[in-house]
Amino acid sequence: MQWEKVMGLEVHLQLATQSKIFSSSATTFGAAANSQTNPLDVALPGTLPVLNHSAVTQAIVFGLGIGADIGRVSRFDRKNYFYPDLPKGYQISQFFQPIVKEGIFDVPMEDGSLFPVRILRAHLEEDAGKSVHDAIPGHTGIDLNRAGTPLLEVVTEPDFRTATQVVAYLKALHALVTYLGISDGNMSEGSMRCDVNLSLRPKGESEYGTRTELKNINSFRFIERAIQIEADRQQDLLDSGDTVTQETRLFDPDKDETRAMRSKEVANDYRYFPDPDLLPIVIDDDTIDQIRASLPELPTAKRARYISDLGLGDYDANLLTQDRATAEFFEATCTICNNPKAAANWIVGELSAALNRVGNTINDCAIRPDGLAALITRIDDGTLSSKMAKTVFDALWAGESDVDRIILDKGLKQVSDAGALEAIVDELIAANSAQVDQYRAADASKQKKLIGFFVGQAMKASKGQANPQLLNQLLKEKLSAS
3-state secondary structure 65-134: HCCCCECCEECCEEEECCCCCCCCCEEEECCCCCCECCEEEEEECCCCCEEEEEEEEEEEEECCCEEECC
Residue that terminates a domain, selected from 287, 309, 333: 287
> What CA dihedral angle connects 161, 167, 168 and 172, to 10 degrees?
130
Is residue 405 domain-resident? yes
Q: Are residues 119 and 267 in the same domain?
A: yes
Is residue 292 domain-resident? no
Q: Are residues 115 and 248 in the same domain?
A: yes
Q: Are residues 301 and 398 in the same domain?
A: yes
Q: Are residues 39 and 170 in the same domain?
A: yes
Nearest residue to 479 via CA among 446, 419, 438, 449: 438
Q: Are residues 405 and 425 in the same domain?
A: no
Put residue 89 in one of left, alpha, beta given phi > 0 → left and psi -120 to 50 → alpha. left
For the four alpha carbons of 364, 367, 373 and 376, in that order, the dihedral sign comes to negative
Residue that terminates a domain, selected from 287, 321, 351: 287
Is residue 445 domain-resident? yes
Q: Are residues 274 and 320 in the same domain?
A: no
Q: What is the C-alpha separation between 406 and 393, in angstroms, rounded?
A: 10
For the four alpha carbons of 291, 52, 14 and 167, in that order, the dihedral sign comes to negative
Is residue 10 domain-resident? yes
Is residue 8 domain-resident? yes
- CATH code of residue 446: 1.10.10.410
Paired residues of 4 in beta bridges = 201
Q: Are residues 100 and 75 in the same domain?
A: yes
Put residue 134 in one of left, alpha, beta given phi > 0 → left and psi -120 to 50 → alpha. alpha
Q: Are residues 114 and 224 in the same domain?
A: yes
Q: Are residues 124 and 185 in the same domain?
A: yes
Q: What is the C-alpha separation between 391 and 380, in angstroms, rounded?
A: 16
Domain, as residue range, for 465: 418-480
Per-residue pLDDT of the chain (482 residues; tens, 9 = 90+): 899 999 999 999 999 987 899 988 888 888 898 998 888 888 888 899 999 999 999 999 999 999 999 999 999 999 998 888 888 899 999 999 999 999 999 998 888 788 999 999 999 999 999 888 888 888 999 999 999 999 999 999 999 999 999 999 999 999 999 999 999 999 988 899 999 999 999 999 999 999 999 998 989 999 999 999 999 999 999 999 999 999 999 999 989 999 998 776 666 788 999 999 999 999 999 999 999 999 999 998 999 999 999 999 988 998 999 889 999 999 999 999 999 999 999 999 999 999 999 999 899 999 999 999 999 999 998 888 888 899 999 999 999 989 999 988 887 776 555 666 677 777 777 777 777 777 777 776 777 776 777 777 777 766 666 667 766 777 777 777 75
Q: What is the C-alpha separation between 121 and 152, in angstroms, rounded?
A: 10
Is residue 172 domain-resident? yes
Q: Are residues 283 and 305 in the same domain?
A: no
Residue that terminates a domain, selected from 364, 391, 410: 410
Is residue 107 domain-resident? yes
Is residue 53 domain-resident? yes
Q: Are residues 174 and 283 in the same domain?
A: yes
Q: Are residues 229 and 367 in the same domain?
A: no
State the angle between helix axes of 433-441 and 444-461 in degrees (0 to 180), rounded to the nearest 10. Answer: 150
Domain count, the chain: 3
Query: Considering the entire predicted model, what is its pTM?
Result: 0.81
